[in-house]
Amino acid sequence: MKNNILITLLYILILNGCIFITPQNNEKNNKDTLFIEKDALQKDKSVEDFAVFYENFFSDSTFQISRILFPLEGWHYSDEPLIHETENYIWKGGIEYLKPAGWKVILYPTLQNYNSTFKLYVKKELLFDSLTLLGLDQALKSRKYKLTDVIVGITLVHIKNEVMSEVQLYYRLRNHKWQLYIFLEDDGL
C-alpha cells in the first residue's frame, strides 16, 4: 500500500515536471503571426504605428518609394492572359501593375485637397468603414486578429469643377512595417 502511494506520488511529480518542460507554443516566435490583444500595437514597439507611418509616407518621397511593393497592383480589367509591358506598366492576366518609373509621389500639399476616409479589413473582409485616422487607430487597438491579415484601405476623394477624382490605397503590415501594395487611381491626383 505504501509502495502504491509512493509510486503514485512519483508518477504525479514526473507528469508535472513534463508539463513545465514541454513547450506550450509550437509556433515560431514571429510577431506578425501572433494575435493582437487590446492595446498590443501600442505595447509592442516593434510594430510600426500606422499614424506615424501615414505621416511619413505622405511627407517624405524617399520614404514613400521605399514602402511600395513594386510592381504595384492596380485595376483588374479582365481574365485575359495577355502580357504587355511599357516603361511604366505591366499588364498581366488582366491586371495592371505599376512599375517604379510610373509612380507619381503623393505628398501632403496634394493630399490636402482630398477628403480621406479609412477602412479596416481583416483577410479582405471589411470590418470598419469611413473611419478617421484616430478612429482607425482605435479600431486597430480594440480588436483581436492576426497582423498578417490586417489591411488598411484609404480612399482619397476630391471634387473640382464638378468632376470627382478618387484614389484608393491599400496597405498591409509585413515584417512589422506598413507597405502600399494596391493602388487604384480614377482620374489621377
pLDDT digits (tens, 9 = 90+) for 9-64: 444 544 444 433 334 444 444 444 334 444 444 445 577 889 999 999 999 999 99
Give the residue-averaged pLDDT of 135-152: 82
What is the span of the domain harbouring residue 173? 34-186
**145 within domain boundaries:** yes
CA atoms within 13 A on the CB side of 34: 16
Q: Is residue 18 situated within a structural domain?
A: no
Q: Does residue 11 lie within any of the structural domains?
A: no
Pick the more confident residue, 148 or 134: 134
The pLDDT value given to residue 27? 42
User: 177 falls in which pLDDT band (50, 70, 90)?
Assistant: very high
Backbone region of residue 39 per phi and psi (left: phi > 0; alpha: psi in -120 to 50; beta: other values): left
Q: Is 13 inside any structural domain?
A: no
Pick from 99, 151, 145: nearest CA to 124: 151
pLDDT > 70: percent of the chain: 72
Instruction: Report the domain count for the chain.
Output: 1
- Residue 76 has which C-alpha cell? 483588374
Is 55 a member of any domain?
yes
Which percentage of the chain shows pLDDT scores above 90? 37
What is the band of 171 on the pLDDT scale with cuts at 50, 70, 90? very high
Please indicate, yes or no, if residue 26 is contained in any of the structural domains.
no
Report yes or no on 88 lying in a domain: yes
Is residue 110 one of the residues assigned to a domain?
Answer: yes
- pLDDT confidence tier of residue 139, bands split at 50, 70 and 90: confident
> What digits encode the pLDDT tens for the residues 92-120?
888 899 999 999 998 887 777 788 899 99
Please give the grid coordinates belonging to residue 38: 487590446
Give the Cα separation of 154 and 119 in Å (integer).
Answer: 6
Q: What is the mean pLDDT of the chain?
A: 77
The whole-angstrom distance between residue 155's C-alpha and the CA centroid of its chain comes to 15
